[in-house]
């Protein structure tokens, strides 16, 4: 087993200038981060901080300008690095003309899961996300919460060792949020690693072992939740203080 | 290969679960049926013209289906963000491009089977003749030609931002190649340098799609079959162009950020 699940070293991501004589935009600046096996790691930052860009690099969507990023010791630019991960994007849109069962079977095929094994996993996952009754219905007929649960099921189809979740509870009702928290907790108990970004700091405080706070592309703090919270009343206060929000001065 | 076939399977499912194909097929069937029922001045020769018109309609319908289906593949994946969970799996971008190509091309094959079966049944019921091999040669080269169109549209979908502009550009290019492509060398001869060389360059560079288009005459005029070697060579010539467009599409897509 590798010592780190996610390793990021001096990562720089720059987006090219959009106009003439405009400088390139640096979305991530010299980011160094490690996530260890079995951790639930919260990746926090205000909007535009560089969280999604970092995740996009980890998933191979965006090439790094410089620096190194690896998953399980494999460079993220290699497709095989994604064999052991599950990913749930912030907004879940799936092929609406497919049924949940067909969608999961399609993704299982891409992971090279044998048909018999895929059938078993599909049954288990649809039960887990409580979509068994709707498995033969096209996704276009699902509510938003149901679509989010399909997203969660697809992220787990390969029984991943690392789950990357980009704001998994955004837009979910309290019941949906509870379900996501339950699943994260269950994965943690199974020894899986979870790396997720969220604006719900209360939720992060509940489920995370460690957190990192990123602001304007730079890593501002990383450590255990209690270490980050420190003298502040809550993680939210600590977060606001770290990113330099003036009203955070009051405890 | 498994990944390519999986992606292709989803493309085919999309085609038969959307209404576009059915609308176009029913429209074509209705127009052909109306034309087939017309009896102009009791002239038997008129059947030839009607067959030609019906086949032209089938060609246009198949081009519209091929171009519109292919043009929306990658842009729709980007716009609806289905590309993100897909590429977060161990699927390479090259596999995705080849999967999309294969799916669209096979879907076009299914569309052609429907169109040619209907046309063959209709024409056979009027002519009482069933030149099946003629139909096979015409449909086969038609399908191979659609491979070039699908690959070119796929490349266009990575270059042009909007599927509508890509569809229009591809449709105009294909129609130009079908109708005036063969005359480019004659046009070049009438020009002075350097236009002569430029037009000649175009003449040799662009894929010539007119042979599959002219195969309609085998059916319309009941001409004898053409040599299978010639059919095979033309198929290879067209497949080489399809491969070139696909390689270019893979190179363009490899450098594109997908967020």
Q: Is B92 a member of any domain? A: yes
Confidence of residue B17 (pLDDT cuts 50, 70, 90): confident
Residues of B in contact with A154 (CB under 8 A): 85
Whole-angstrom Cα distance, residue B104 to residue B9?
10
DSSP for chain B reads: -HHHHHHHHHHHHHHHHSSHHHHHHHHHHHHHHHHHH---TT-TTHHHHHHHHHHHHHHHHHHHHHHHHHHHHHHHHHHTT-HHHHHTSS--HHHHHHHHHHHHHHHHHHHHHHHHHHHHHHHHHHH----HHHHHHHHHHHHHHHHHHHHHHHHHHHHSS-HHHHHHHHHHHHHHHHHHGGGHHHHHHTSPTTHHHHHHHHHHHS---HHHHHTHHHHHS-PPPPPHHHHHHHHHHHHHHHHHHHHHHHHHHHH----
Q: pLDDT of A157-170, one tens digit each?
A: 988 989 998 888 77
pLDDT at position A106 is 93
Shortest distance between the Cα of A82 and any Cα of chain B, in A, equals 5
Confidence of residue B252 (pLDDT cuts 50, 70, 90): very high
Residues of B in contact with A137 (CB under 8 A): none
Q: pLDDT of B154-192, one tens digit each?
A: 999 998 878 889 999 999 989 888 888 888 888 888 888
Q: Is B26 a member of any domain? A: yes
pLDDT at position A122 is 94
pLDDT at position A16 is 78
Least confident segment among A69-83, A134-148, B19-33, B110-124: B19-33
Shortest distance between the Cα of A201 and any Cα of chain B, in A, equals 25
Q: pLDDT of B43-101, one tens digit each?
A: 667 777 778 888 888 899 899 999 999 999 999 888 888 888 888 888 889 999 999 99
Note whether B90 contacts A93, CB cutoff 8 Å.
no
Tokens matching residue B184: 């480019």
Nearest CA in chain B to A56: B259
In degrees rounded to 5, what are phi and psi of residue A70?
-140, 150
Shortest distance between the Cα of B126 and any Cα of chain A, in A, equals 40
Q: Is B153 a member of any domain? A: yes
Report the residue from A53, A107, A151 with minimal CB separation from B89.
A107
Confidence of residue B203 (pLDDT cuts 50, 70, 90): confident
pLDDT at position A2 is 52
Interchain CB contact of A61 with B (< 8 Å): yes
pLDDT at position A140 is 87
Query: Parallel, antiparallel, or unpaired: how do β-strands A25-35 and A162-166 relate?
Result: unpaired
Peptide bond into A115 cis (omega under 30): no
pLDDT at position A220 is 87
Question: Average pLDDT, stretch A9-37?
Answer: 84
Q: Is B181 a member of any domain? A: yes
Mean pLDDT of the residues in chain A:
85
pLDDT at position A217 is 86
Q: Which range marks the domain in which residue B163 is found?
A: 2-254
Residues of B in contact with A83 (CB under 8 A): 90
pLDDT at position B40 is 63
Report the residue from A82, A97, A98 with minimal CB separation from B88.
A82
Nearest CA in chain B to A79: B90
Interchain CB contact of A170 with B (< 8 Å): no
Q: How many domains does chain B have?
A: 1
Q: Is B223 a member of any domain? A: yes
pLDDT at position B41 is 63
Q: Is B259 a member of any domain? A: no
Report the residue from B9, B17, B90 with minimal CB separation from A97.
B17
Interface test with A, best of B90, B92, B98, B257 (most A CBs within 10 A): B90
Quote the percentage of chain B above a pLDDT of 70: 97
């Amino acid at each position: 087993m590798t010592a780190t699940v996610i390793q990021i070293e001096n990562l720089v991501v720059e987006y090219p200038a959009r106009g003439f004589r405009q400088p390139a935009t640096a979305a991530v600046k010299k980011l160094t981060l490690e996530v260890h096996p079995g951790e639930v790691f919260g990746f926090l930052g205000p909007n535009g901080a560089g969280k999604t860009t970092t995740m996009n690099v980890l998933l191979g969507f965006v090439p790094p300008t410089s620096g190194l990023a690896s998953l399980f010791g494999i460079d993220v630019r290699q497709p095989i690095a994604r064999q052991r991960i599950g990913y749930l994007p912030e907004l879940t849109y799936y092929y609406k003309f497919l049924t949940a069962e067909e969608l999961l079977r399609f993704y299982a095929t891409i992971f090279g899961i044998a048909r018999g094994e895929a059938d078993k996993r599909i049954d288990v996952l649809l039960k887990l996300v409580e979509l068994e009754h709707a498995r033969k219905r096209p996704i276009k007929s699902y509510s938003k919460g149901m679509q989010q649960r399909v997203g969660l099921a697809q992220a787990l189809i390969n029984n991943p060792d690392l789950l990357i979740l980009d704001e998994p509870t955004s837009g979910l009702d309290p019941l949906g949020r509870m379900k996501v928290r339950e699943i994260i907790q269950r994965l943690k108990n199974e020894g899986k690693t979870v790396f997720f970004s969220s604006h719900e700091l209360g939720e992060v405080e509940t489920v995370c072992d460690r957190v990192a706070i990123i602001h304007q592309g730079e890593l501002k703090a990383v450590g255990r939740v209690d270490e980050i919270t420190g003298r502040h009343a809550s993680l939210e206060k600590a977060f606001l203080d770290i990113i330099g929000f003036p009203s955070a001065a009051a405890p | 290969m498994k990944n390519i076939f999986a992606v292709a399977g989803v493309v085919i499912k999309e085609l038969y679960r959307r209404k576009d194909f059915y609308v176009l097929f029913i429209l074509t069937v209705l127009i052909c049926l109306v034309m087939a029922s017309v009896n102009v001045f009791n002239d038997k020769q008129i059947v030839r013209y009607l067959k030609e018109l019906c086949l032209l309609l089938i060609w246009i319908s198949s081009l519209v289906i091929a171009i519109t289906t292919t043009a929306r593949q990658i842009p729709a994946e980007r716009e609806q963000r289905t590309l993100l969970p897909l590429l977060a799996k161990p699927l390479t971008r090259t596999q995705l491009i080849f999967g999309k190509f294969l799916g669209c091309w096979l879907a076009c094959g299914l569309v052609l089977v429907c169109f040619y079966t209907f046309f063959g049944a209709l024409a056979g019921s009027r002519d009482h003749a069933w030149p099946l091999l003629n139909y096979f040669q015409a449909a086969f080269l038609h399908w191979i030609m659609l491979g070039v169109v699908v690959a070119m549209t796929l490349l266009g979908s990575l270059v042009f931002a909007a599927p509508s502009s890509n569809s229009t550009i591809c449709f105009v290019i294909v129609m130009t190649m079908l109708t005036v492509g063969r005359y480019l060398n004659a046009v070049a001869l009438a020009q002075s340098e350097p236009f002569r060389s430029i037009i000649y360059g175009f003449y040799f560079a662009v894929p010539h799609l007119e042979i599959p288009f002219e195969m309609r005459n085998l059916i319309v005029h009941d001409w004898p079959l053409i040599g299978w070697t010639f059919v095979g060579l033309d198929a290879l010539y067209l497949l080489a162009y399809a491969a070139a467009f696909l390689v270019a599409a893979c190179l363009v897509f490899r450098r594109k950020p997908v967020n």
